[in-house]
Structure 1
Amino acid sequence: MEVAYYGGTFIDIDEKVIPIQERGHQFGDGVYEVIRVYNGKPFMLEEHLDRLEMSAKEILLNMPLTRDELKAITAEGLQKSGINEAEIYIQITRGIAPRNHIFPDVPAQFAMTIRQAKQFSSEKREDGVSVTLLEDERWANCFIKSLNLLPNVIAKQKAVTNGHDEAVLVRDGKVTEGSSSNVFAVKDGILYTTPATKKILHGITRAAVITCAQKLGISVVEKDMDVEFFLSADEAFFTSTSVEIMPITQIDDTVLPADRPLTNKLYEAYQALYQTVNK
């Protein structure tokens, strides 16, 4: 059963509860996290909460709950839902107040939903996906996981409208990340990804994949990849909490090699990681 939480209580997920003067609704004034649940246990929960607290600090938002309180609410929600393979969405906004750009002196608001996790077939992972390159028009602080996602939404929609699964964003000739993912490329047996600067989200799955690669003895290089380098990759894939690791088979008109040994090894290692941690 899908569940939701708002205003200090669990509610029906379809209940209309957001006040018209909620700053998340009017300004996108807030931060969020998406946490994957495997076998009833949140995966890398501490890392997600670390990033949530960092994002809140960066936008000068006081957390309305302690970490222990957040963990208790998510645990209670999972128990109520009965969903073993779930996605937890948590959101914190600056609160409810008459619309004004100046921060109001009101308590921040916490919201949460728990739904069935997205599932991707083995055929989808085998076939991989097509991506398109688009100009990165987002703000300068993409490392903050804020609610202001309109440029990401537009990029994703442009990609889907033109027959692709994801948009890979490019700024000043360099690949940054996907509209809702981090991006990796493989060249001559070396794994490359964009450095974790303010230009990209510091993905939790991204970090886990780098750890998996290092344990497998795969060299990892964090560098700004220009478009020519990305198009000439031997393999490429993107990562996120929802998709885990998804192979890229085509970048606009460029078809990548069908053989993906490192991507496959990394996906197996990532599966082993969450299965081991979440036993």
Structure 2
Amino acid sequence: MRDRLTQLYDSAGPRDVVEIAILAVAIFLLLRLLGKSRGASVVRGLGLLAVGLFLVAQVLVGIFDLSVLGRVLDYLLTTLLVALLVIFQPELRRGLMVLGRYRLFRYLVPANVRPVSSRLADAARAMSIEGVGALVAVEREMTLGPYADTGERLDAELSSLLVRSLFAKRSPLHDGAVVVCGGRITAAACQLPLGQPPENASGQHMGMRHRSALALSEETDAVLLVVSEETGRISLAVGGKLEAVPHDQLGDRLAELLETRSRTRVQKSTVPDQPAQPARRAG
């Protein structure tokens, strides 16, 4: 047996080492991907058990030259892989969804922002008519993960009815902001930074939602959608500026902002310093 192991060791070349390394990396990435799903511990346990048994069986086949057993193991491996795909189909689906949210894949496959803008616009118009206040932060290039961590995690599909339900006055999550990342509602009841009231010559009062929207838009490139509870006015905050948007133009304006990458830093670097900032409009 020792001679057989020595023979196997001597016959291993650089090509075999590369193949083993590729397989090891592939198995590691697969386990890490599935580790973010609900059945993480089960997947890791079964995966490691299957890989360990298969390697031990292959070593025994190589040592004792069991060709028939080797063919049976090949068939069993194929059957095992298919069985794992069927059993852990929900976990695999969830893992692939997590993989698709990585920034690299966002660049490779641009997301369609029209459904996001239209659903948010429908919800904002309805809440404006009903007199319900709302604050929604939509992620663009800069991550909003730290702000989403301050609220309740949802990871739900974005819909107009869900947004309206979250901001309903009797909803336990109506206080705070809703964070939208990758076309999905990541979290609700999130705490955003509260900026100082801007110096406004007109002396108009600016509520906490509008101040938070301005503060976050100054710190990130996110698009902030604000619905005033008092007046029903709908506003968008981008790059430290607040603009009121008519109902019929809200969907197109949102789509335009979400389709355009953030130019805040470029604009700030090219515009010379001014003695005073222009007055911001309050919704």
Query: What's the TM-score once normalised by structure 1's chain length?
Result: 0.27
Structure with the larger strand share = 1
Structure (1 or 2) with the greater helix fraction:
2
Higher RCO (Cα < 8 Å, 6 or more apart): 1
Larger radius of gyration: 2
